[in-house]
C-alpha cells in the first residue's frame, strides 16, 4: 500500500504566486469585471494562437454562449459524441436544438471521421426537415480529434464546428495549438480545479472571428450593448439619454461573467502552463513505462505520432471480466490503498433525459465498450515521478496479480 498522502484522480496546483495575484486583485478597485479580465483574455489568446478569447463563468456557460452566438435554435440538429460530460450536449438543448449522438473509438473515446459520417447520414436521411447546424467534437482526456475532414464536411454544408477543448489546453496537433481554431468557428476551455489550469471555476471561448467575439461578450453580460455606434434606439423619440451611462439590451443574455479575482488567478496559472504541460507529459510517460512492465490486463492507447497531447486524464482501459472483479470493487480497494480514481464518462446517450430527447435512438457500441472498461487514475502536476509506478503497483496488488 502507498505510504504517501492520498492521491486524488486530479486536483489543482496552487502556489504562493497564485495567492499573491489574488491578493493583488482583492486590494484593487475591481473585484468583478476589471483589468484582470482583459489581461487574462489577451494572454490566453496569445498562448493558444487565437485572435480572441472571451472568458466566462465556467465551461458549460462557454458552450451555451457559443451556441447562442451562432444562432442555434429549435429547427437545428447538432452532432455530439456520446463519451463526454453532459454539458457538451446540453448546450444545444438550452437553445431548443436537437441532438444526434455519434459513436466513438472504443480505445480512445474520441469521435472519428467514420462515426461522425454515420451520425451525419442519419441526420440527412431521417431528419431532413431540420437544419444540420454543426458538430461539437470533444478532445476527450486531452487527445485531439482529427478535425480536417470533419471541418471540410461542415464547410460544404454551411455548418459550424465548435471544439469542446475543456480537457485539452496545451495540446498540440500537427504543430498547431488546440484553441487556435484552425478548423473551427470556436473552441471552448474549462478552468475547473482538476483541469490543466484553474481559475477556481471558469471557462473561455476562443475564436478568430471578431464579430462572434463581440456577440459573446454581449451575451455573457445580459445582452447589453454599450457602444453608441451600435445603438438601435431606446424608443424615447429624442436623444436626451446619450451619456456614458447609457446601454441597450439588444438580446436576451446571461450573467456569465468571470470576475477579476478569478482572472487574476488565471493569469498566474497561465504563466506556469509550460511547467504544467511538461509535468503532465512526464507523468504519462512514467505511467506508460510502469504499465509496460506490469503485465496487467490494462491498456492505454498512445497518442497519434503527429500529436502532442497535454493529458487531463490518465484514463486506462481495464478488462474487469478477466480479473473476476467489478470496477466498483477495484475502485474501493484502490481508495483503501490511497489511490483515488474516477470514471469518465457514462455515455450521454444512456442518460435518462437524453434517452427521452435525443434523436436517432440506437446502440453506440464504441461508447458502451469504452465506458465499460475505462478508469481514470491520478494525474496532476504536483505528483512526484515515483507516483505513477506506485499507483500501478497498488493496482497490480488489488488485481491479485
Q: pLDDT tens digits, residue range 254-266?
A: 999 999 999 999 9
Neighbours of 201 (CB within 10 A): 18
Catalytic site residue from 27, 51, 121, 195: 195
Share above pLDDT 70 across residues of the chain, in percent, rounded to a whole number? 97
Res 25 pLDDT > 80: yes
Domain ranges in the chain with CATH number 3.40.640.10: 16-271
Average pLDDT rounded to a whole number, residues 124-133: 98
Residue 111, sorted as left (phi over 0), alpha (psi -120 to 50) or beta, turns out to be beta
pLDDT band at 243 (very low <50, low <70, confident <90, very high): confident
CA atoms within 13 A on the CB side of 138: 32
CA quadruple 62, 67, 71, 72: dihedral, nearest 10: -160
Domain ranges in the chain with CATH number 3.90.1150.10: 273-398
d(CA 162, CA 95): 15
Is 195 one of the catalytic residues?
yes
Q: 392 with 294: CB under 8 angstroms?
A: yes
Res 250 pLDDT > 80: yes
pLDDT for 241 equals: 65
pLDDT band at 244 (very low <50, low <70, confident <90, very high): confident
Grid cell listed for 365: 457500441
Of the two residues 246 and 17, the one the predictor is more confident about is 17
Res 303 pLDDT > 50: yes
Average pLDDT rounded to a whole number, residues 127-141: 98
Grid cell listed for 84: 463526454
**pLDDT per position as a tens digit, 354-401:** 999 999 999 999 999 999 999 999 999 999 999 999 999 999 999 987
pTM of the model: 0.96
Average pLDDT rounded to a whole number, residues 82-106: 98
Burial of 11 (0-12, 13-18, 19+ CB in 10 A): middle
The region of weakest confidence among 36-45, 81-90, 244-253 is 244-253
Average pLDDT rounded to a whole number, residues 160-179: 98
Average pLDDT of the chain is: 95
Res 68 pLDDT > 60: yes
CATH of 273-398, one of 3.90.1150.10, 3.30.9.40, 3.40.30.10, 3.30.420.40: 3.90.1150.10
**pLDDT per position as a tens digit, 197-212:** 999 999 999 999 999 9
CA atoms within 13 A on the CB side of 394: 25
Q: 391 with 333: CB under 8 angstroms?
A: no
Burial of 176 (0-12, 13-18, 19+ CB in 10 A): middle
pLDDT band at 231 (very low <50, low <70, confident <90, very high): confident
pLDDT for 199 equals: 98
Closest of 225, 227, 216, 226 to residue 256, by C-alpha: 216
Average pLDDT rounded to a whole number, residues 209-220: 98
pLDDT for 237 equals: 58
First to last CA, the chain: 14
pLDDT for 2 equals: 46
Res 19 pLDDT > 60: yes
**Which CATH number does 16-271 carry?**
3.40.640.10
pLDDT for 1 equals: 46
Closest of 397, 277, 275, 280 to residue 339, by C-alpha: 397
d(CA 401, CA 330): 13
Closest of 292, 263, 294 to residue 397, by C-alpha: 294
Closest of 41, 13, 43, 37 to residue 261, by C-alpha: 37
Amino acid at each position: 500500500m502507498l505510504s504517501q498522502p492520498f492521491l486524488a484522480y486530479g486536483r489543482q496546483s496552487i502556489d504562493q504566486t497564485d495567492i499573491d495575484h489574488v491578493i493583488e486583485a482583492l486590494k484593487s478597485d475591481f473585484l468583478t469585471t476589471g483589468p484582470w479580465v482583459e489581461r487574462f483574455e489577451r494572454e490566453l489568446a496569445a498562448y493558444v494562437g487565437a485572435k480572441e478569447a472571451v472568458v466566462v463563468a465556467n465551461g458549460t456557460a462557454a458552450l451555451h454562449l457559443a451556441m447562442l452566438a451562432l444562432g442555434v435554435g429549435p429547427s437545428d440538429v447538432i452532432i455530439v459524441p456520446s463519451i463526454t460530460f453532459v454539458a457538451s450536449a446540453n448546450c444545444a438543448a438550452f437553445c431548443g436544438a436537437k441532438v444526434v449522438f455519434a459513436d466513438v473509438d472504443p480505445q480512445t473515446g474520441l469521435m472519428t471521421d467514420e462515426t461522425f459520417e454515420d451520425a451525419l447520414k442519419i441526420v440527412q436521411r431521417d431528419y431532413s426537415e431540420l437544419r444540420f447546424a454543426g458538430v461539437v467534437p470533444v478532445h476527450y482526456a486531452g487527445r485531439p480529434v482529427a478535425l480536417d475532414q470533419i471541418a471540410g464536411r461542415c464547410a460544404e454544408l454551411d455548418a459550424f464546428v465548435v471544439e469542446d477543448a475543456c480537457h485539452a489546453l496545451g495540446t498540440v496537433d500537427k504543430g498547431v495549438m488546440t484553441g487556435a481554431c484552425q478548423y473551427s468557428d470556436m473552441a471552448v476551455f474549462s478552468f475547473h480545479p482538476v483541469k490543466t489550469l484553474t481559475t477556481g471555476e471558469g471557462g473561455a471561448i476562443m475564436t478568430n472571428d471578431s464579430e462572434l467575439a463581440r456577440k459573446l461578450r454581449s451575451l455573457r453580460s445580459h445582452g447589453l450593448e454599450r457602444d453608441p455606434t451600435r445603438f438601435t434606439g431606446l424608443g424615447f423619440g429624442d436623444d436626451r439619454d446619450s451619456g456614458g451611462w447609457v446601454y441597450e439590451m439588444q438580446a436576451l443574455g446571461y450573467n456569465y461573467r468571470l470576475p477579476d479575482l478569478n482572472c487574476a488567478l488565471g493569469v498566474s496559472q497561465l504563466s506556469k502552463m509550460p511547467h504544467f504541460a511538461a509535468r503532465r507529459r512526464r507523468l504519462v510517460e512514467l505511467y506508460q513505462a510502469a504499465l509496460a512492465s506490469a503485465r496487467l490486463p490494462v491498456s492505454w492507447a498512445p497518442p497519434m505520432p503527429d500529436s502532442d497531447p497535454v493529458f487531463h486524464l490518465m484514463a486506462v482501459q481495464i478488462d474487469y471480466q478477466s480479473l473476476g472483479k467489478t470496477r466498483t470493487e477495484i475502485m474501493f480497494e484502490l481508495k483503501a490503498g490511497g489511490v483515488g480514481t474516477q470514471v469518465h464518462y457514462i455515455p450521454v446517450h444512456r442518460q435518462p433525459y437524453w434517452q427521452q430527447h435525443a434523436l436517432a435512438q440506437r446502440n453506440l457500441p464504441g461508447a458502451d465498450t469504452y465506458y465499460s472498461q475505462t478508469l481514470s487514475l491520478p494525474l496532476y502536476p504536483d505528483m512526484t515521478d515515483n507516483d505513477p509506478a506506485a499507483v500501478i503497483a497498488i493496482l497490480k496488488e488489488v488485481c491479485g496479480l
